[in-house]
Structure 1
Amino acid sequence: MNSSFGAFDDTSSLLHESEERYRLLVDNIRDYAIFMLDTEGKVVTWNDGAKRIKGYEPADIIGKHFSVFYTEEDIARDYPGYELQQARKTGRYEDEGWRVRKDGTLFWANVIITVIINNNNEFIGFSKITHDLTERKKLQDKLAMANLELQENERRSRLLIESVRDYAILMLSPEGNIVTWNVGAERLTGYSASEAVGKHFSMIYSNEAIDSAYPEYELRKAVSNGRFEDEGWRIRKDGSAIWAHVVITPLFDSDNVLFGFTKITKDLSERRRNEELMLKNRELLRVNTDLDNFVYTASHDLKAPIANLEGLVRLLKDEIGTEASKYQDVFSRMNSSISRLNNVIRDLTEITKVQQQNHLNNEEVNIEETLQEIEESLEETIREKNAEIIKDIASFKTLRYSRKNFRSILYNLLSNALKYSSPGLSPVVTIKTEMPDADTLMLSVADNGLGFETSQKKKMFSMFKRMHTHVEGSGLGLYLVKRMLDNTGDRIEATSEVGKGAVFQVFFNLGKKDI
């Protein structure tokens, strides 16, 4: 008997010692709140970890319902009761959420509630383990916020790049294949995104550039130098060429491995055309200057020989004396030729005097009075040809312009209209002013004369060009008119139908003339 009781005592002692060790183990865990709840959810035990995490002393919390750790919103929807209910159904319930400390502050907790069954398979309560994950939650929230900001920035950047219309902004793979294609690239090249993405970026280069592997050279230089910049011709989908400014930049990841390129292209075709036009204008100015110098020298050098010819003709007539009447036709031809030479020299001299006009030379010119002066100077021609001059200038009577140049323009146009009249038909010349818009005066000179072929339009304003070779003239009148108008930024246009006359329209820019 005594030995049996001794064995029981030893077992009881070992069990008590084991429970004590377990209690000490739980009580000294500080990173986890480990405690028991009764079947109703009231706190039965409380370890140091629970005290540190939640702020309650054992005397403050034991006997109270564990819902005191929950927010008002969770209590209002009876979330603590739901957790116990779920634990009873499955034996275990795990959750994360905000919990409330004794001082009212919140912490983010991982909670595991487990059903406790005794040796008799009786439900006696719950164990509850809580881990404070507030720092992890803050870090996760920061990462999530940073990720959202990154996504938003990426979205904004994508929208920005896709909406840019003046620049082709695209991304290339390391091999040079197109990965992205914005609206600017589509507008610049004519290719849609579906046509371009996946293709090599050399698709917009000329055959010569492709044959010489120039696109691959651009990528190599971008990698070696960190950036590549160039200007050159590129080819649109429709085959037309554009002058493009290109910047290619390599993209490297955190391990310094190349993962692609950005490529920005700007269409500079307009600038290129302007530069070429400036060069042409400079060359044209040089040629014109050289031409002026030549014309001046030639006209000056011709005056003396012509004067000598005139003197020799007079001397010859005097030597022949009474016999001169026999050679009257020869003398008339000689005098006519000398007269024509004098007219050419006069016109050439006039060309050299045409200079760039400025406002100091401008004055109010009465169009009707100027026209009257010109009619008087052409009176003999008008009478000989039985010409009719019709004037319709009521809509605009004055023009601020160089009086000398305006008179020369109108004189040449009117004299040409009389000169190129149809044989056997009295010339009818209509001079009219109109205003196509508020800043433009159009002065037209229309006739019923010989007219000209459409093919002559481009040549008729050139030097020494005549529309009809059998009509006498130096071929300098229209050239002189065109040059004076070019100098002031004005223009002249001509239309005609052979045998039915011609219309010359001069457009004066009133905004430039300070009317």
Structure 2
Amino acid sequence: MHLSSNLIFRNIAEGFFLLDETGRITTCNAAASAITGYDEAEIEGKPFNVIGDNQSDPIQYRSELDEALERKKCVTEGWKLRKDGTRYWAEISYSPVFDDSEVLLGFCVLLRDITEQKKKQFDLLESEERYRLMVEQVADYGIFMLDTDGRIVSWNEGARRIKGYSAEDIIGKYFAIFYPEEDILNGKPGWELKVAVATGKYEEEGWRLRKDGSRFWANVVITAVYDAEGRLSGFSKVTRDLTERKMSEQALQESSDRYRQLAQELSVANSELSSANRELEQFTAIVSHDLKEPVRTVRSFLYLMNQHVDQQKFDLLKSSIGKGILAAQRMHELIDNLLHYSQISKIGLQRQKLNVEEVIGEAIQNLNDAVEQSGAHIRVQSEVPSIYGDRLQLVQLFQNLLANALKFTNGKKPEVEVKSWMEDGSVRFVVEDNGIGISPENLEKIFEIFRRLHFASQYPGNGVGLAVCKKVVERHRGRIWAESTQGKGASFHIMLPKI
């Protein structure tokens, strides 16, 4: 069989050549002529390596033919020249041809112009290289790749600057190396990769670790990467160092918290100032009325005494002197009570854990004489074992309330009950009596200093006791109020924080 006369390959779409056993061209098809620019007659009998490449190395060409003989095929690629001098990228496949006795007859050569495909491949490689170089030089973002197991396979300049590791330090390490110990113990790194696979991306802000162990606040984006066939090939991870922004936010938050605290303190101060102004107004009223009243009385009796002396009515002096002394004593008591009331706000609270029954028991003990004289029956039912507060002031609070219950009885034997229980996180105290009661319009007024609802001759007192109670309760951050129906007793209610 003569290869040169075999026309079966002439209609093949690819460039086709038949070579003799020495590698010289015996025939080619039209596609080969179109690719190379040579007619069959121009190249017949010439070594194939000369076609399209005058600088071709004959030794290299011979090795390609030898490889084809040994392996039954040899495929090469490279730049070739057409007859007109233009270049093209050729893929050449050599296949040996034997007769039935395994004697070499020659070679079949397929020639393909793959310039366009190669150009795209070169462009892609060039683009990938440019991208790689660009990523490697980015300094503000840590950009690196992970394999499917989360191990680091690439590292850029931004990652080195942010995290402190060189590529040699970190490539091949599991990316959990950047996470605080608590996150590693909770399995957070692996969980983030699972989220990225499930949703395509995982993004968060949180604390991460540098090589030197210091923490930085990072914005992290992990993206699952897939190959052309849709198989997971790894993950891309982009990290930004937002520590300065985080510190600024924290500083702003702290400043805002301080502002709110100052505003709250100012509100408290304003409230205290308003309370002080109200007390000042009450004090002004007291000075203008209650304190002046005994002064006027003393002055009146001194004036009478002066008249008695002028008129030589010496027998009347003793009565006037006695009444003047009583008025002076009342003024002395008023001043003492006013000083006691004002001192409550000035003396610091000595807060301590107190047994509720002991505090109420001490108040009852202080009123022992009044209890015996009145024949009072006082019951204490406390569901709260303890409370925090100032012992002296809380004893004074219950002593004043019990003293009022013993006083305003209209001749009946006092029946008094002191109860306590927890309510809405606070301790509620109630002191109930069976006394004369309080009219509804006076329920608020009774806590004003020196406010008296009855004549001193009927129910002795100076109108300070309940005002002291109100101030003690307010100093303990609580509130006090009265409930009553005229003639049916009264109950005083107190709400105090347990701690």
Give the TM-score normalised by structure 1.
0.41
Give the TM-score normalised by structure 2.
0.42
